[in-house]
């Protein structure tokens, strides 16, 4: 009985923390998308990074465009777990980005540890135990110029073709809320399909990015074994894969 009560308490605390983080964002995150926002969101990744390197676009403006869209995606699908947008505003302000993905916002599955944020993967017992350091994958992404701004929902244990857990709730498919976006990387597929991210990272042992990509109508690049490191500061053994968005009708695009 006591463990169940603690479970419910931890779930409520985490959901309230997520709601507070969204509510505390600057007011422009709740305003309609501007013409510049739409231009940024429709720009391919290579061009986006080039524009940032050439100082044609400021990294903060790119982050804000994707931040706005990710919040809209979350309202429609409940796809987000950790909302790191405010901290990333401080990270990009005044920073000169280089590298192949200079200044490109990137979403990551909740399994990936980022310093200062939880990676509870749906377990209430892991709530309020933030990572002490960035995982090797996070450091690799940052070295490439990426800006990790949100983390996305998963099923508890990761062994499911759904994406639901007591901590964060159920993620729905952006094309039809009565359907699932797949699993276990379902939060990523919902966010990408809605247009709230262009590039995301997930894990796959038995279809955990391939199924969500199919169900949400996006592309996934299945990397060869060993292409990405397995160390993510969580107790799972899975290879890393790259998930890419492709514009299509529906899902808020």
Per the domain annotation, does 186 fall within a domain?
Answer: yes
Per the domain annotation, does 100 fall within a domain?
Answer: yes
pLDDT of residue 65: 98
Per the domain annotation, does 221 fall within a domain?
Answer: yes
Task: Let me know if 109 is a catalytic residue.
Answer: yes
Model confidence pLDDT, tens digit, residues 76-123? 999 999 999 999 999 999 999 999 999 999 999 999 999 999 999 999
pLDDT at 247 over 50: no
Q: What's phi and psi for 125, nearest 5 deg?
A: -70, -15
Task: Let me know if 50 is a catalytic residue.
Answer: no
> Which SS3 state, helix, strand or coil, does residue 235 take?
coil
Per the domain annotation, does 238 fall within a domain?
Answer: yes
Range of the domain at 216: 2-244
Model confidence pLDDT, tens digit, residues 190-214? 999 999 999 999 988 889 999 999 9
Given 14, 68, 69, 109, which residue is catalytic? 109
Per the domain annotation, does 253 fall within a domain?
Answer: no
Given 113, 180, 197, 208, which residue is catalytic? 208
Per the domain annotation, does 90 fall within a domain?
Answer: yes
Structural domains in the chain (count): 1
Output the domain CATH number for residue 152: 3.90.1300.10
Given 163, 172, 184, 189, which residue is catalytic? 184
CA angle 77, 79, 84 (to 5 degrees): 135
> Rounded to two decimals, what is the model's pTM?
0.91
Per the domain annotation, does 6 fall within a domain?
Answer: yes
Model confidence pLDDT, tens digit, residues 33-68? 999 999 999 999 999 999 999 999 999 999 999 999
Q: Which residues contact 103 (CB under 8 A, 6 or more apart)?
A: 48, 49, 52, 53, 57, 59, 62, 63, 92, 97, 145, 147
Distance of alpha carbon 73 from alpha carbon 76, whole angstroms: 5
Per the domain annotation, does 252 fall within a domain?
Answer: no
**Beta bridge mates, 196:** none
Maximum CA extent, the chain: 59
Model confidence pLDDT, tens digit, residues 136-155? 889 999 999 999 999 999 99
Task: Let me know if 68 is a catalytic residue.
Answer: no
């Amino acid at each position: 009985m006591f463990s169940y009560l603690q479970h419910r308490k931890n779930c409520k605390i985490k959901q309230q923390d997520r709601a507070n983080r969204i509510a505390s964002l600057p007011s422009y995150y709740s305003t309609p998308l501007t013409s510049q926002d739409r231009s940024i969101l429709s720009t391919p990744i290579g061009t986006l990074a080039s524009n940032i390197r050439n100082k044609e676009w400021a990294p903060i403006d790119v982050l804000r465009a994707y931040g706005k869209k990710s919040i809209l995606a979350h309202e429609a699908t409940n796809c987000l777990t950790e909302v790191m947008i405010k901290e990333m505003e401080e990270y990009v302000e005044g920073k000169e980005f280089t590298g192949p993905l200079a200044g490109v916002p990137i979403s990551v599955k909740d399994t990936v540890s980022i310093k200062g944020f939880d990676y509870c993967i749906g377990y209430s017992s892991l709530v309020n135990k933030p990572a002490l350091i960035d995982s090797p994958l996070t450091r690799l992404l940052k070295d490439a110029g990426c800006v990790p701004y949100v983390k996305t929902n998963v099923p508890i244990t990761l062994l499911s073709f759904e994406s639901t857990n007591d901590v964060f709730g159920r993620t729905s498919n952006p094309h039809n809320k009565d359907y699932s976006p797949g699993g276990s990387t379902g939060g990523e597929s919902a966010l990408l399909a809605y247009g709230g991210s262009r590039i995301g990272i997930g894990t796959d042992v038995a279809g955990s990015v391939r199924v969500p990509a199919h169900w949400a109508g996006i592309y996934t690049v299945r990397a060869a074994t060993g292409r990405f490191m397995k160390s993510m500061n969580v107790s799972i053994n899975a290879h890393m894969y790259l998930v890419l968005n492709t514009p299509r009708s529906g899902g808020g695009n």
